[in-house]
Amino acid sequence: MFAGLHIRANDKYQSTIVLLNPDLQATKVYTFKKDEEFYDIMDRISPSILAIGSPTSLPLGLCCLETSCECKYSITGNKGRISEIQMASMSISCFYTARGSISKTLIYRSINISNQLNSKGYKVIETYPHATKSILFQDQPSHKTELSGFQNNYPHTYPFLRLQSDISQWDKNTYNAALSAYTAGLHHSQLTDSLGTPEEGLVVVPALQ
């Protein structure tokens, strides 16, 4: 089984896990608020790979994202992580993991979850749902069009949605979690590439043509 996680910045809001079977078809959607709930779900489903669709590392040289800290980027002039700069060069829009980021609470939570799972022996990869969508599906059609037209068009475009009977009820967060889970399944079959560097942290994307 392959799991994709779309996490929110804090436990006031629901985060989402989508589970895919070995045929890369969605079988289950889980939601949680507190990290303890998430770890309980992980212990129950024990996926082969968990793909987290948010940053799981900081830029080289930074110990945090606080503007008050004296830590400095190892590479002068970098806007964010190497993987993010590479995606931008591929015309894949993304937010940089940078000092003072408005998403720093989310990033801290994502890093902590990744570290905790790695310490427990889970295989964790970082993904970027928008990159998966852009590389495999040319970023078309839009999320709203996709969901409203699922019965007629979706199964031929997005194979991981084939078995999900209530797909019309999915929100964008669930959809992004599914994209991450699908990337995990591709990674298991060695159909992915990695952006960035091992020292800083890699982002797994579908194999680049």
pLDDT digits (tens, 9 = 90+) for 78-124: 778 999 999 988 888 888 998 888 899 999 999 999 999 999 999 99
Q: Which of 38-52, 145-159, 178-192 is predicted least confidently?
A: 145-159
Using the predicted structure, report yes or no on whether residue 1 has a pLDDT greater than 60: yes
Higher pLDDT, residue 159 or 98: 98
What is the rounded average pLDDT of the residues 174-188? 92
CATH of the domain at 57: 3.30.420
Q: Is 9 helix (H, G, I), strand (E, B) or coil?
A: coil
The average pLDDT across 142-152 equals 44
What is the mean pLDDT of the segment spanning 120-140?
A: 86
Q: How confident is the model at residue 153 (pLDDT cuts 50, 70, 90)?
A: very low
Range of the domain at 133: 2-206
Instruction: Give the pLDDT confidence score for residue 139 in this predicted structure.
Output: 54
Residue 167 has pLDDT above 70, yes or no: no
Residue 142 pLDDT more than 70? no
> Residue 138: its pLDDT value, please?
66
Chain segment 31-45, per-residue pLDDT in tens: 999 999 999 999 999
Q: Residue 50 pLDDT more than 80? A: yes
Residue with tokens 């994209």: 179
The torsion defined by the Cα of 177, 180, 182 and 184, in degrees rounded to 10, comes to -130
- Domains contained in the chain, number: 1
Give DSSP secondary structure letters for 95-158: ----TT-TTHHHHHHHHHHHHHHHHTT--EEEB-HHHHHHHHHTT-S-HHHHHHTHHHHHHHH-
